[in-house]
Amino acid sequence: MKEIASALVKAQKEFGPALKTSTNPAFRSKYAKLENCIEAVIDALNDNGIMLMQPTHLCEDGVIVETMFLHESGEMLSNGKLHVPATKHDAQGYGSALTYARRYSLLAACGIAAEDDDGEAASKAKAPPAKPAAAPPAKAPTKVEGKDTPWQLKVTAKPDGDHGEWSQLVIDATMLQIEQTKTEADIMDIFKTNRNIYDEVKAGSPTAYEVLMDEFKQARAKHKEAA
């Protein structure tokens, strides 16, 4: 592994930032699309004799992606497999899960993070006054399922997980579903199908609920403009 290790060290010194171009409502920030992540590293890898590969593996409930580096010497390095479930078992559902898996697998394998202009600005801002200690976070529900329709969500919390972590899972799953919608009616069907889940988010994590509602509003507006 001597050749590929040396080449990867040189390549990593040349990696560029993965510029953020798309909105992630879960964090009210920007995130880098897959193509931005690839552009940030592909030239440096190729210039140092490394080919990037992201083969997929058989999986019934989603996708499994493995990011690998193949050096011109013949040495190969695997960075492990990443599994991402598909929220809807059709072409769009698997496609969204594949894009998500490839992006995060690549970022982890290359040891880079997306450029964070907001974080840089925040670091220069005056620190806010200290706040009183927050109350212990609410516990997450064990398992909540939406109505039995193609847009159904099933969200299970970790043992002793807090409500904020559980709400983040709901947000992530909802975002993947919204990416698969074709009409404004699809957006409304997602909300109606999983209304009981979103009510639970509202009760335990009001801020997360506001983020969800903003995402639904933006998605509906997008479909209206396209109609």
Rounded distance between C-alpha atoms, residue 158 and residue 167, angstroms: 12
Mean per-residue pLDDT for 60-86? Answer: 91
Does 122 have pLDDT greater than 50? no
Quickly state the pLDDT bin for 77 (edges 50, 70, 90).
very high
Rounded distance between C-alpha atoms, residue 106 and residue 102, angstroms: 6
Quickly state the pLDDT bin for 196 (edges 50, 70, 90).
very high
Q: If DSSP codes are grouped into helix, strand and coil, which group holds residue 185?
A: helix
For residue 182, which phi and psi values (nearest 5 degrees)?
-115, -20
Could you tell me what percent of the chain has a pLDDT over 70?
Answer: 80
Residue with tokens 């083969």: 55
Does 126 have pLDDT greater than 80? no
Mean per-residue pLDDT for 162-169? Answer: 80
Q: Which residue has the higher pLDDT, 22 or 167?
A: 167
The first and second tokens of residue 67, run together, are: 């990011």
Please write the tens of the pLDDT for every residue from 176-195: 888 888 899 999 999 999 99
Q: What pLDDT is recorded for position 42?
A: 92
Please count the helices (runs of H) and the strands (runs of E) in the chain. Answer: 8, 8
Distant-in-sequence, close-in-space partners of 101: CB < 8 Å, separation ≥ 6: 63, 64, 65, 82, 83, 84
Query: All domains of the chain, ordered by start, with CATH?
Result: 2-119 (3.30.390), 136-226 (no CATH)
Q: Which residue has the higher pLDDT, 113 or 208?
A: 208
Identify each DSSP E strand in the chain by its residue range.
Answer: 22-24, 29-31, 50-53, 56-57, 62-71, 76-85, 143-145, 154-156
Please write the tens of the pLDDT for every residue from 11-47: 988 887 655 555 444 444 455 788 888 888 999 999 9
Q: What is the mean pLDDT of the chain?
A: 81
Element (DSSP H or E) covering residue 124? helix 117-124
Rounded distance between C-alpha atoms, residue 128 and residue 30, angstroms: 23
Nearest to 87 by CA among 222, 219, 186: 186
- The DSSP symbol for 107 reads H
